[in-house]
Structure 1
Amino acid sequence: MSAVESLAQTTSGLRQLQLISTLVESEPLDNNGQVGVGALYEGAKNRGAARNSVTHDLEALQNSGWLWFERSAAGIQTVVLKQPGVDAAEEFEALKTNPRFRSRQIRKAVLNWLYDLHVQGGEASRVTDFLTSPSNEHFGERYTADELDRAVELLLDQKYMEAISTFDGGSALPTITSKGIDLVETGETATSSAPGGDIYNIHNSGALNLAPRSTNATQSITMTQGQVKQIEETLESLRLMLSPQFIGVTDEVAAEAQAILGDVDEEIHAEAPSGGKVKDWFMKLVDLAATGTVQAGVNALEAVVQQGINGIG
């Protein structure tokens, strides 16, 4: 998961990515990447949003090094786009349109939709109800009926969901299976059969959850190779995110955080990895990130860490 993809997992981060994309697509006022922001404030007014909501997002983008502006007595009139901001906007647009990424994400979205219906005691009359649900959302855009058909075909084939075939070729009364529930709760992606392989028995001294300062309870966790692989992917994303510019920390803090990632990487590849140690290091990492001044980046980092922890179970 890239830094931009991670940022898009949070509400504020997604909003800021949409904002930088809008600015990049705007007509420049000169050859130096300067664009006006008046339309942004006007749009906020029409939506009934506070004017300072736009200002705060622009400040966050400036803290990230994506743009620059000077505030006058009249407020922010124009901004100058910087190359990192242009790059982020282009990567964000690529994420929204990449068919392979969208295919993977819609499978997650459909399963999560069915899972939520299951735990709430609800039901859907047809699979196509997904298209009009709040779950039909991909970085601010919606999935198509064709994408849904392909996702449902795979989920049915791999027994992650069940449905009744209708005479018109559709699927009625969709429900999530126990296999699908397990997939959602372990945070994995519906691409193939559940991973097997060697099993590591890990004794953890605390609940693997990033709820700050929560009460811990000793538990034993069995970690599959697939779960170890997910932590490896989490580490890869975190290495990209732990830059002074992305979360607004000092070089010293960034270096200390990178060292923690090294400790985690060494631990998960040990002969007898300790889930308790991994949890403690991740909590220390979150504490370091909390000193950052770019809140959207900090929130995105915490979301990635939480996803990795959820993968352990």
Structure 2
Amino acid sequence: MTVESLAQTRVGQRQLRLIQALTEQEPLDNDHQVSLDLLREDGERWGIESAAIDSDLDALKSLGMVNYFRSLAGINTAFIEQAGLDAAHEFRQLRTNPRRRAQEIRDAVLNWLYDMHLTTNGVQALGDFLASQNANFLGEPYTVVELERAGEWLVDQQYMTGQRTWGAEVLRPRITTEGIRLVETGNSVNDILSSAGVTVNKVNISGSQGVNVAVASSNVTQSNTLTQGQIEQAERILGSVRAMLNPAVIGVTEEVAAEAVAVAGQVDKEIQSQAPQTGKVRALLLKLMELAATGTVQGGVDALNAMMQQGVAGM
């Protein structure tokens, strides 16, 4: 399980925030042992959910990132393994990467404008975005400067209109027809081709890890199908999903449960096909993790998602 794949789900992001918070605690010894007291008392300071610390530690332990001893009094300290130190460092670099943030905020702003277009009469200023729940990348808040640059780019690319002011603010920002079309197709604004006449050859192999691709070559076939062991793992995950992803067990709504049944059916259909595609199965499992994360019974949610995380990590 990579940091990038963990960061694709809300639960995974929460676990990454915890491992990062652990590395920011004062070590108790030379073995990277840290106390959990401050995190339990004031988890909000580090952007973590104190009530989910134990279950998140279980998930991080299964990934080889931490170790700990659970006494009758609970878990008081944790040892950060090298994999955990590496993951925290990579997550910190990822969420503060200027290029990634510049790209992600463009999509975040455009999707926010689309939601405002559907649910309100519009917004008064682009700066209102910073008060929305989308105004962060992996928990790291966007800045005013980042928003100004994103707004300028969206206007220049004709995805947004508005009245520019001397202070770089955009008054009465509105999503354009082109912007609506892009959001509704599910594509990113960063996927557009260069308008300067540059030909972009984009190769996207869903689910491929460590493969070599021959670009512009004839008679080349890319194959990335599930092994029998991976199929069996996916079948075990489906069994747990069907048993647990319902209102009675983890507290999801009836609508979420119905959607989960449909997604599980897609997984089942794919793994029973002649050449089940790793990327497609992984994407569907990540969707199931998102659905499970909406549950209200935290222990059950985390147990189910930990199992699915292990399955995704093995693909």
Tell me if 1:98 matches 2:97: yes
- Cα deviation, residue 129, structure 1: 1.1
State the match for 2:257 in structure 1: none
CA distance in 2, matches of 1:184, 1:237: 28
State the match for 1:253 in structure 2: 229
| 1:69 partner amino acid | Y
Q: Secondary structure at the match of 1:35?
A: strand
- Cα deviation, residue 22, structure 1: 0.7
Alignment CA distance shift 1:3-1:182 (3 Å): farther
Length-normalised TM-score, structure 1: 0.64
Q: CA RMSD in A?
A: 4.1
| 1:73 partner amino acid | L
- Cα deviation, residue 31, structure 1: 1.2
Post-superposition CA distance 1:131-157 (Å, at most 9, x none): 122221111121111111111111111
CA distance in 1, matches of 2:103, 2:154: 11
Tell me if 1:235 matches 2:235: no
State the match for 1:202 in structure 2: none
Check whether the contact 1:6–1:300 (CA below 8 A) recurs between aligned residues: no
- Cα deviation, residue 257, structure 1: 8.1
Length-normalised TM-score, structure 2: 0.64
Alignment CA distance shift 1:187-1:65 (3 Å): same
Tell me if 1:298 matches 2:308: yes
CA distance in 1, matches of 2:310, 2:132: 25
State the match for 2:69 in structure 1: 70
Tell which deviates more after alignment, 290-299 or 170-179: 290-299
- Cα deviation, residue 278, structure 1: 11
Higher relative contact order (CA 8 A, sep 6+): 1
CA distance in 2, matches of 1:88, 1:145: 28
State the match for 1:219 in structure 2: none
State the match for 1:12 in structure 2: 11
State the match for 1:26 in structure 2: 25
| 1:19 partner amino acid | L
Question: Identity of aligned pairs, percent?
Answer: 38
State the match for 1:214 in structure 2: none
- Cα deviation, residue 45, structure 1: 10
Alignment CA distance shift 1:125-1:45 (3 Å): closer
Post-superposition CA distance 1:54-82 (Å, at most 9, x none): 21111111111110111112211211111
Post-superposition CA distance 1:72-127 (Å, at most 9, x none): 12211211111111111001100121111110111111111111112224311111
- Cα deviation, residue 184, structure 1: 1.9
Tell me if 1:136 matches 2:135: yes
- Cα deviation, residue 300, structure 1: 10
Tell me if 1:127 matches 2:132: no
Alignment CA distance shift 1:138-1:123 (3 Å): same
CA distance in 1, matches of 2:178, 2:310: 29
CA distance in 2, matches of 1:56, 1:238: 31
Q: Which runs of 5+ in 1 are unaligned?
A: 197-224, 240-250, 259-276, 306-313
State the match for 2:266 in structure 1: none
CA distance in 1, matches of 2:274, 2:142: 36
| 1:253 partner amino acid | G
| 1:235 partner amino acid | G
CA distance in 2, matches of 1:158, 1:301: 40
State the match for 2:159 in structure 1: 160
CA distance in 1, matches of 2:190, 2:45: 42
State the match for 2:110 in structure 1: 111
Q: Secondary structure at the match of 1:164?
A: strand
CA distance in 2, matches of 1:45, 1:144: 20
Post-superposition CA distance 1:186-213 (Å, at most 9, x none): 33332364589xxxxxxxxxxxxxxxxx
CA distance in 2, matches of 1:53, 1:153: 39
Alignment CA distance shift 1:51-1:167 (3 Å): closer
Q: Which runs of 5+ in 2 are unaligned?
A: 212-226, 235-272, 290-301
Check whether the contact 1:28–1:35 (CA below 8 A) recurs between aligned residues: yes
CA distance in 2, matches of 1:184, 1:27: 44
Q: Secondary structure at the match of 1:104?
A: helix
